[in-house]
Amino acid sequence: MSAAAPGPGADPVLARRARIARWVLLGQRVGYALFAVAVAAFVAGFVTGFRGWVVTLIVTALVAGSVVLAPAIVFGYGVKAADRADRENTWG
pLDDT over threshold 90, residue 26: yes
Q: Please report whether residue 17 resides in a domain.
A: yes
Residue 58, pLDDT score: 98
Q: Please report whether residue 23 resides in a domain.
A: yes
Residue 4, pLDDT score: 60
Q: Please report whether residue 43 resides in a domain.
A: yes
**Alpha-carbon dihedral angle through residues 35, 39, 41, 45, given to the nearest 10 degrees:** 150
Q: What is the mean pLDDT of residues 72-85?
A: 96
Instruction: Count how many domains the chain has.
Output: 1
pLDDT over threshold 90, residue 47: yes
Q: Please report whether residue 88 resides in a domain.
A: no
Domain assignment of residue 55, given as a range? 12-83
Reported as half-sphere exposure (CB side, CA atoms, 13 A), residue 10 has a value of 11
Average pLDDT, the chain: 92
- d(CA 85, CA 35) in angstroms, rounded, equals 32
Q: What is the mean pLDDT of residues 11-27?
A: 96
pLDDT over threshold 60, residue 50: yes
Count of Cβ atoms closer than 10 Å to residue 57 Cβ = 18
